[in-house]
Structure 1
Amino acid sequence: MELDRDHIHQLMNEKVMGVINATDEQLLQNALQEYPELQAEFEQLQQEYAIWAQQPSIQELNSEAAFAYIEDELQHRKSQKRKRLTISMLLVAATILALIIFIYPLTTTQQKHTPASPVLAKNTLQLKLSNGDVIDLSTRKDSITINNNTQLNNTNNALTYTAKDNATTTQQLNSLWVPPGMDYHITLSDGTIVFLNSATTLKFPFQFTGHSREITIHGEAYLQVAKDPNRPFILHTPQGAVQVLGTTFNVNSYDSGRVKVSLVDGAVSFATPEKQTLLKPGQALTYIQDKSTTLTALNENELLWIKGRYKLDNTPMTEITKVLPRWYGVQVVIDNPQTAAKRFTGTILKAEPIQEFLDAIKLTTGADSYYKDGILHIR
């Protein structure tokens, strides 16, 4: 196999951080066998990560500490612009070769024949095809043939597919919906990998045509965007379009009329009806519709969901109640204004029952909770 060292180094870092997919892991193993000199680099990287894992503070915080390290390395790289990345710095460059989108799901009622949305899809993992057919990916596994020309492979919590070049349906948009409490990932036709968090809709074609690659996301996603200098990757959000000029950035669009773009590495531009803004690494742009645009520092906590964590830092209860429906599929109501004003610092772990988090809330803030008619009340 022809050796692409930059790509192999990326896969090394994805492996030690636990975010590599099965296809890339096999590619990495093949490269290590064919090029023995890479094995020493990989072992050194594993040793560095193991040292972190043995520290008590990192055993407690896990990915929070890792991403704090990324922030430190970003600062170091600013003073080392012309130097090649060391093995430890590759942990920064490749682990988060990603785009993270935080867009709170739509809650308005949609009509029956509109594209899949959080309201329509309910609690099943669904792929709605451009012709209106709906495939329940929660129950249909392995190989699925559709339209006599497109082959889906739904295994290991992931979707891959192949489509014939002459298939007209490959140019039309499909909608993939991931319900609350689940996560899923899909590999697009150009090789871009999209990790989808709970309560998220991805609209995409089976094949990209023309001079650009365009998708739309409502919810939260982590993307490893395949490089293609001839076709920019454009991601549409409710507040504007993000064009990928590099590879690593974060988008947060929880609130209506507000969007935040944080750039880790490379280059992105954010376009609104008023203007287009190019960000520098380490910058975060906050755009409030018809009001203002401000620049602040990147916040690494926004990257933690890929590890099943949501970091809360003196967060008001009103913000927390936006997270719980997406991660646990439960409607939440705050009973009184005093409780709504309370703040909490800690971490929500998706793998743990919601009661574990509610117990922590009660212990630290005194806010109790109960269920009534299937709705979670916090008082």
Structure 2
Amino acid sequence: MTPSPEGLHLSGFFAVRQTNYGGRACFAQRNISRGTIILESKEPVGCTVCYDFRKEVCHRCFHYEGGNTMKFKLSAEDLQAFVIKIYPSGKEMETLLKKGSFLGAGLWFCSDLCRRDFLTLRDVSVLLISFEKLLRLFQSQNKARAAQKSEETGADPIAADINKHIEQRWSQIETEWIPRLSKLKDTRQQMEAPILTEEEYISVRFVIDTLWRIRADNLKKELCTRNQAFECLQSNEISKIRRAPSLLMSQIKIFQTLYIILPFELKSFLTSTLFRHIIGADYANSFGIWELGLQSDARELLGYWMIPEASFFNHSCAPNVDKRRIGNTLHFVTNKDINANEQLCIDYSGILDLDVKERQKSFSENWFFNCTCDRCSLELKAV
């Protein structure tokens, strides 16, 4: 059962409450003036850059220059100077370096400042080891992936009782696959890794980033509001798989890859329960990382991030709160004066210029709800 977010102190401007229609929403705790930043998120619980933009977006501040490749990437010298000397887990990275040239963990940066800032993050070596091992595995699968594209792959047949079917598949992973894999040597385990698509590769990176951040917060040995809010997020695992049955097989491939490549620090932290919550919460609660400075219909979707503290805002097609990104910080800013106890709503989709029926279709397919905001109610009546 998902914990309730009520009682969490997410902001001095609003509180999360249960509504009379069954959902949870954010309500102003006092009168708020237009232009007020009611929430500022400097660090997500997890984020990733889309595959097509992996070399064109700074992995620290999300800077984007219209398709130009970022000028700075990680090198073996960076690791010697920053990571291996500082963090004990750098020994596994030293082993990776001895096996061949360092690939840069698939990370690119807009400046030396962003690169250095990234390298000084707590336990960054754990993240770099994971990304580097994943990149090496992914590149080793290039020929097999090209051959696989020409073959048709069917979805895992879904039984009438979808919940039971999903639980059975995960039970097989826990009771059969993991015990069998654990008996194999590391080199043999690598051969057991499933062939990933580009989308699955990015999903693996997202889960790695999320596990790393959650672990870092737990190491602080103090209550973390971000982690508490993350535990309260709604999962759309069942709804998503019901609409796209192939996702179940994809999720299992992602989990298997993680279990094979993760260093001990993260592997000991990985469970199927936590993994499924990360993936299920991602379906319903992630925010897009959008290109800055352009109209919504012209900007690029550069990646996505999960911000638990902001995930309790409901959607409205006439929102009273706007999202504004400045580098890797996301501000939630009121666009009108708001009275105490008034609900605070944001725009989920960036499709507010579409016809009401097209908006409703998009909400149903992507966020699993029918919008009943005042604007949609009026426009539907007119139709």
How high is the TM-score relative to the length of structure 1?
0.29
- As a proportion of its length, which structure holds more strand? 1
- TM-score normalized by the length of structure 2: 0.29
Q: Higher relative contact order at CA 8 Å, sep ≥6: structure 1 or structure 2?
A: 2
More helix by share: 2
